[in-house]
Structure 1
Amino acid sequence: MFKLLLLLGVFSVPAATIDLSALIEQLWPNESTGVFDSVAKIPYTDLLNDNPYVDPFVLHSMKTYGFFYVVDVPNYSAEAELELMTTFFGLPEDVKADVEIRAHNPANANAYRGYCPGLDDIDATLQYKNIFNIGPHETRAPFFDNSLDDATEKLRYDVQEPNVWPNTDNCDFDKEFKETFQAGFELRRGIARAFVRSISRSLEMPALPSLFTEDEFSAMGLRKYPERNDVNTNMYSDFDGELLRELEHVDSTVTVLSTFENSGLQMLYRNEYRDAPNSGNGFIVNIGKLVDDIIDNELVSVRHRVKEVSFDRYSITYFLGPSFDADISRSMSGEITEAGHKYTIFGEWIKDYLGAIELFYY
């Protein structure tokens, strides 16, 4: 029925310029063998250019499954990103220590942007991974007056810390790593913001994009999940007993995910975890609970996890949060959000959230 409505022009598709039959076959294949084969696959250029024909596809996929794919990304190479990640995580630990966050190397200034070594404790199920965090800032924010006893304002300053980048004896690698992931950050930020604009059109919430005009807290994490040689009871799902690499969770903000060709990601669908197709040379986009509350829970904030696999698994997660001063206390319809019972602006919420976790993994 949804395809029929689209073909009849209910969603104002520019039929004169688009081959609808080919388009629908690409986004929703007729030959479907898996439960997620019908998840929307949105061409990057059309999403970024705000072509309105993508909106019903994005909306339907987000309401039904809680995620969609972005495909046909010009001049993007997932293979190149993966190769650089593998090289970085394979560097000697003393080299990587130069870019560790200060929780691991007190000699370094950054609290959030940089390298977070994986934990050695096998019981630390949730954080058994290595992460290199990248943010939107390359220069330090203006000086903060430490005489001001204001934790929120201090966080406003702290979170704008600049990125750090590898400084090895291979200048070509250092340059390529920095330039590739600077470009990768901008690419994912563009996708996340275009998704917000699409949803604002579909749900007739024109004020939604104004909450994301700044992105002080956006973060891109290069992740390596090392292969485990031992397991214990903490690694098994309470939901169905599956052995896991990453525990079941729901994100908070807007997520743009790269799984490359690595299996393991599962999404909860109709009370059962199902294998999600890999992102390949594209991206998986989903929404988190905080943002879903702001849009009156019109979409599915999908619960997901990573099951145990017999190899080192790599992924990249990008998170787009609202602006520091964005009002998260009420939804687009004026209802008090779950966060709104305690917080008014996103900066207040993220201050407590960062305080509740030791590393910047939101």
Structure 2
Amino acid sequence: CRARHIKCDERKPTCRHCERKNLPCKQTDIIVPCNWDEPPAPPQTSNNTAATPSDDPAPASTWEVIQQSQSTIPQSHPPAPPLTTWPSPSPVPPNLYITDESASLLRIYQHGVGPWMDVLDHTQRYQRDVLRLALASPLILHALCALAAKQMSRADASAPPSLWEPLAARYYGESLRLLIRALAEDTSAAATEAEGAGVGGAGGEGGGGTGRTRKREETLTATILLASCELLAAPSADYARHLRGALTLMQTGGIDFRSASRLEAAGLWVFARQDVAMAVAGKRGLLWGVGRWGCDWSGAGDAEEEEDWWGRKLLWLLARAVECVFVDADGSGLASRVEPVEGLLAELEEWRGALPRSFEGLRLKGGLAEGLDEMWFPIDSAGMVHAFV
């Protein structure tokens, strides 16, 4: 129940608890109406980097942006090679385009939705690495600001809609324009590289690969941030549309957990969480089948001591359970499943039996409204695991 912050059995129209207490029942909305029907206003700050002429029609979503860009990618261009560690780009002086407004939104992201993005990543890539990228990338900066403003529009019930919604729409619209530019530059570089490979053979490689893989990481990260923003606006209404943009980049770039950089891998786990959550909520199959994840759980070593590792493995098991129950988005049916459910249940019990003690949580008697007990987990990812279970 949203009004009293207690667990609800979600019975419609009134849950049993509210019916028994004769209380008004306000349940959590799964489908949230989107308020982005109007084109986003242009940025108010002249220092912000412009991406396209102001008279260009505003794109509607990351999926539309990436779908349009894919139609111009040269077919002869192979997927980008797996990413390796590369030096961070030299940051642009922040005062060139970071205003007081955007700096405030970055802080909101850092202490608000950022920890949620990293709930299964103790290295905090989406708080540390992504914020570093924002100092050098207007695309990442605007995507972070859009997500922070959209999250505040949902979390700050006391604020009028005119406070956060216009900010979210403005930064979101500018992010899409910057994403169009980034994809166009990548397409142009791919065409040039393909021509060089055709004329000079291997001479077309050179140092361009590092730049392209760097842009690939930035583009995928921005797309996942913007998809998260779209899901906050409309989490269940055609949720697949919001995730297909990032999925297309992953497929065309050949990106999975085997080939991804560390930041990309963190983004893939964010994407996987969203895909699994939306599949369970909508009783549908996955967009990104588990067989394409490329996970390797062998030789984890010290990683098994961290709660985020156990949380990621549970997400992987949950995704496999979804595949056993629902038809995938690619049309594969239940009859095609070769994995016995009994084997999956055995793996789940093995996972549960090996959990560290930090997953037990501490029960606080009467810590919630109506005298209900509260469970406190010192490690956030341990509490997230119980939400999965």
- Settle same-fold status: TM greater than 0.5: no
Greater C-alpha radius of gyration: 2
By percentage of residues, which structure has more helix? Answer: 2
By percentage of residues, which structure has more strand? Answer: 1
TM (norm. structure 1) is 0.23
TM (norm. structure 2) is 0.21
